Chains A and B, each alone.
Chain A
Amino acid sequence: MDAFYAAIEQRDRPELRGKPVIVGGDGPRQVVSTASYEARRFGVHSAMPGVRARRLCPHGIFVVPRMEVYAAVSAQVHEVFARFTDQVEPLSLDEAFLDVTGSRALFGDGETIARAIKQQVKAATQLDVSVGVAASKYVAKVASDLKKPDALVVVPPGEERAFLAPLPVSRLWGVGPATEPLLHRHGLRTIGDVQARSEAELVAVLGQNLGEHVFVLANGLDARSVDAEREAKSIGHEMTFVEDLHDRDHVRSIVLQLSEMVGRRLRSHGQRATVVRLKIRHPDFTTLSRQRKVEPTADDLVIHRVACELLASCWNGRPGVRLLGVTGASLVGAGAPVQGGLFAQAPKKRDQLLAAMDRIRDRHGESAVRHGGERRETTQWGPEA
């Protein structure tokens, strides 16, 4: 989708149309989620600190994100995708890979399907979408980005190398701010320059893994298939604070809130985490990450207990806390075998309680029901009955 969040705001508020709209805040700790194309002309882009965006674009209109609305629109868009294929691999709220190989007999070739999708998304949401059509995921993604907004770029099979050749190396996945200067030093500025080198030469410059990876992408050889059942490897939430936190109880209560969010998402995906990870960032931007293996769990209070133990192991109240993150990782399916506990509350009872809390939240919103703050601790044998 093109400037997805900003485009939705402009759609819903006509007075914003044609103006530089910046979704996100301009406070000291806030960042830009999405900038409209009008704002991008001033150099504003996503993930930029709000303060900087304000300086670049003083007359920009800052809009508070409305995530529920964006999620609802995203669902409408996915509903359009589903009319053409069930092989959909979502990348984010507003991006997805579609494998339409098996749909051509019904709907025509890739370009025809792309046009139909653009038209039907527009009809359903009044929003523009850019589509890239190619034989591999990587080339399709580059093609979709190339002529935004409202673009349709088709790269016929066999023309991938020629299509990629003029593009800068920064278009290669895995080539970021660290790798780009390295490639430049070796005289590699465009993907065409990379295509002129052998795999062995690239491995010598970039190391085994990245070298092979860049060789495959640059030559349009990316053979990964669209994975409709791609599962998240981890589920995490982070919070950055307007003012640094110093109070231990306050920090622990935020950790509880993050743990509840992680637990809820684990349960809604039917998964359990076997690793709990805590991330903490101090005012000087030093960032620590601590993790521990746990018995598979999707229980808010178990995640909270472990996260608090990790917190205690790396933070003693000083220095302040700028950002906190809680993640459940190394996920396993909810049906995977679980080592039972001798003293924990009966797991079934506990699961029923959490399921009931989830139903209340589904109906009445995320803050309708919460675990009591600090006073309800868990014991080392599991949540207290």
Chain B
Amino acid sequence: MKILCDRNALQEAVTVVSSVVPVKTTKPILQNLLLRADSEGITLFATDLEMAARVQLDSVKVSKKGTALLPARETAALLRELSEPTVTLDSSEQRCRIESGGGSFVLLGEDPEQYPEEAQSKAGRKVEIAAGAMLRMIQETVFAAAREETRYAINGVLLDCAAGCLRLVATDGRRLAISYENLDTKVEFKTVVPLRALHTLSRALAEGSKEMLRIEVGDKQITFAVGSTQLVSQLLETRFPDYEGVLPKSADTTVEVAKSLLEGALRRAAILSSNDMRMVRFEVADDQLRMTAESSARGRADVAIQAVVKGAGGSINFNPDYILEALRVCKLDQIRLDMSDDSMPAKFTLGESFTYVVMPISGS
């Protein structure tokens, strides 16, 4: 195999596929990436057996077709350090010579035949969505997913496509984030995608981009394709909890408040919530939202901010971290909180199509 290509384009492609290469693995061959050159250009591919990334590059001069398996980390690092605009790769018998400018490097690869390359996915249910919209939905949900390993069942995000609407839903059992986007489609599916796959995908998506992301859902795997990049992930075989059932239908009190005011005040109050139990009390009355926290060992905080209050008012305790994490990805200036008592989830409206539900802390 022998190719000549643009260093920048190759480096970007290698960075994308390298993101699925496992840092630690019991199968050392998985620390490589596969490079295939044919008449259409080159394809880079890497997998950790749960997830795979494929990038195609066509602005490449292929002078000899063939396949090479290269150590992913070293290849990526080397391409980053080279300064010439073009680079030549020439490989035979598991040795790949890289030449660029005055430098010449030899990477020792492994047998490409041994690498578990997956066939391109078979047909499934397909939808298309703007890359920027998908990125927004990922950002608005992933933070709420469970991170503990044993809660593997919700270590993923639900993709629920129905009635011309794609919803992303994530929960750790105590709070739940829903973000949606309307699509012109009749396709329906409901599937749980591992968090890691969405984190990797988000790196390939640009903020506000109108470029279309193609999503294809099969029985066991899901494929995301944008531009010349393709990401395939196994689906989580799990039962996602009934999220629609926990959305509160009504509320005793509605509070509208400026996001920046709430975020600042809550951060200040949270400093004095106890280490054992992160807790801030929200008290709503007379056009103000008052936040208090107390640590028996360190002190007390009492902060009040302006708010538009409708309904009975009252007080309710929250883990401040749950709310701050959501506010960090909220782009609205004015947000709305619907709350009842500590036995009912409270609902935050954090965007036109971004809803967040938090279970309060009860007792005390």
Contacts and interface: CB of A to CB of B under 8 A. Distances in A.
A337 B281 CA distance: 12
A336 interface: yes
A343 B150 contact: no
28 contacts: A309-B150, A335-B363, A337-B277, A337-B279, A337-B361, A337-B362, A337-B363, A338-B361, A338-B362, A339-B277, A339-B319, A340-B174, A340-B361, A340-B362, A341-B359, A342-B174, A342-B176, A342-B345, A342-B357, A343-B173, A343-B242, A343-B246, A344-B173, A347-B362, A380-B150, A380-B151, A380-B153, A381-B241
Contacts of A335: 363-364
A339 B364 contact: no
Contacts of B54: none
Contact of A342 (B150, B246, B279, B342): B246
Given A335-B364, A338-B362, A342-B357, 15 more contacts: A337-B317, A337-B363, A337-B364, A339-B319, A340-B342, A340-B343, A340-B360, A340-B362, A342-B171, A342-B174, A342-B175, A342-B359, A346-B343, A380-B173, A382-B173
Interface in A324-353: 332, 335-344, 346-347
Contacts of A340: 174, 342-343, 359-362
Contacts of A343: 173, 241-242, 246
Report which residue of B277, B360, B363, B364 has the largest number of chain A beta carbons within 10 angstroms of its beta carbon: B363
Interface residues of B, number: 27
Given A344-B173, A380-B154, A381-B241, A336 B345 contact: no
Q: Which of A309, A339, A340, A381 has most chain B Cβ within 10 Å?
A: A339
Interface string B231-269: 000000000011000100000000000000000000000
Interface in B194-246: 241-242, 246
Contacts of B363: 335-338
Nearest to A310: B150
B277 A342 contact: no
Nearest to A274: B276
B6 to A, nearest CB: 48
Interface in A303-332: 309, 332
Contacts of B361: 337-340
Contacts of A338: 361-363
Contacts of B364: 335-337
Interface in B347-364: 357, 359-364
Most chain-B Cβ atoms within 10 A of its Cβ — which of A340, A344, A347, A381?
A340
Contacts of B174: 339-342
Contacts of A382: 173
A77 B150 CA distance: 47
B344 to A, nearest CB: 9
Shortest Cβ-Cβ A-B pairs, 10 listed: A340-B359, A337-B364, A337-B363, A343-B241, A342-B246, A337-B361, A381-B173, A342-B359, A309-B150, A339-B361
Interface in B133-161: 150-151, 153-154
Contacts of B176: 342
A332 B277 CA distance: 11
A336 B363 CA distance: 6
Nearest to A344: B173
A328 B363 CA distance: 21
Contacts of B150: 309, 380
Contacts of B153: 380
Given A341-B359, A342-B175, A343-B241, A336 B277 contact: yes
A335 B154 CA distance: 29
Contacts of A336: 277, 363-364
A315 to B, nearest CB: 15
A335 B362 CA distance: 9
A346 B345 CA distance: 12
Nearest to B247: A342
Contacts of A341: 173-174, 359
A341 B276 CA distance: 18
A117 to B, nearest CB: 38
A335 B151 CA distance: 27
A312 to B, nearest CB: 9
Contacts of B343: 340, 346
A219 to B, nearest CB: 32
Interface in A34-57: none
Contacts of A332: 276
Given A309-B150, A337-B277, A380-B154, A342 B362 contact: no
Interface in B305-359: 317, 319, 342-343, 345, 357, 359
Given A336-B277, A337-B363, A380-B153, A342 B173 contact: yes
A5 to B, nearest CB: 39
Which of B246, B276, B317, B357: most chain A CB closer than 10 A? Answer: B276
Among B277, B317, B364: residue with most chain A CB under 10 A: B277
Contacts of A337: 277, 279, 317, 361-364
Contacts of A380: 150-151, 153-154, 173
A344 B153 CA distance: 15
Contacts of A344: 173
Contacts of B276: 332
B325 to A, nearest CB: 15
A191 B186 CA distance: 86
Nearest to B245: A343
Contacts of B357: 342
A135 B317 CA distance: 47
Contacts of A309: 150
A226 to B, nearest CB: 24
Nearest to A346: B343
A305 to B, nearest CB: 9
A252 to B, nearest CB: 16
B163 to A, nearest CB: 24
Interface string B264-303: 0000000000001101000000000000000000000000
B243 to A, nearest CB: 9
A261 B360 CA distance: 30
Nearest to B364: A337
A191 B345 CA distance: 62
Nearest to B363: A337
Interface in A134-164: none
Contacts of B171: 342
A309 B149 CA distance: 11
Nearest to A347: B362
A344 B345 CA distance: 12
Nearest to A348: B343
Nearest to A381: B173
